[in-house]
Amino acid sequence: MEYSGIVQKLGKQRYLCFSLIAFLLAGPLVGGHLGGRVVMYSVLTLVLITGPLAVASSTFARRMTYGLAAITLASGLLSIIAEDSVFWAFATAFGVLFFGCIAGMVSKEVLFKNQRINSEVLWGVVNVYLMIGICFSFLFALFAIFDPGLFVGKFMDEPLRDQIYGFIYFSFVTLTTLGYGDVTPNQPFVGTLTYMEALIGQLYLAILVARLVGLYASRED
């Protein structure tokens, strides 16, 4: 069976969700050494493959998302080989574009196009929430490359490539409005991005609940 056939059989959104969760767990579990980075990028490859498969309904969208995925992965690997922050800047910038595009496509599909509640809708809802957090984490990491003083916290003395999971932690703490305070923005601009992420997270949940209730009510009618 072809790979796309396996993904289709398992469920596109479900497979993407498994890939995203594996990516979120891989880095903290394996550490920031060279072997850990290889594992991280191996798991990220799954995300970059399953993301376009899960959402791209047209040839143009599929090519665009796979192009963003290829640049993100190649830049990240080159940052390990060459140990150059320029490649890491490319990786984070295109990571923002990739996860932003995939999140937008999935949200459009599950929140606006789909007219009934099924497992794909529910998996897609989870995927959008996870990708919002990941997208902001890449955005924070990108800004930190150009100005390391934008954030203060316990992981900011680590090498730039190893800060990504610290920013993922910070991003999801912000998205869920936990706000532990162990990592804080140090400039008004990133402070604005931080509360905008928290606002997006709350609005997403509110719109999501309203949409799912509306779909359920229409099905009952």
Beta strands per DSSP E along 71-185:
151-153, 183-185
Mapped onto helix, strand or coil, the DSSP state of residue 201 is helix
Q: Which residues of the chain have pLDDT under 70?
A: 1-11, 31-37, 56-58, 111, 113-115, 159-161, 216-221
- Please tell me the predicted confidence (pLDDT) of residue 4: 46
For the chain, give the number of residues: 221
Torsion, Cα 130 80 170 21, to 10 degrees, reads 30
Sequence spans of domains, the chain: 3-220
Q: Across the chain, what does the average pLDDT equal?
A: 81
Handedness of CA 83, 84, 87, 91 (dihedral sign): positive
**197-204, long-range: CB < 8 A, 24+ apart:** 197/132, 197/136, 197/171, 198/174, 200/132, 200/175, 201/129, 201/132, 201/174, 201/175, 201/176, 201/177, 202/177, 204/128, 204/129, 204/132
Amino acid 178: pLDDT: 86
Q: How many secondary structure helices (H) and strands (E) does the chain include?
A: 8, 2
Q: What is the pLDDT of residue 208?
A: 80
Q: Are 65 and 104 in contact (CB under 8 A)?
A: no
Closest-CA residue to 14 (of 138, 110, 112): 110
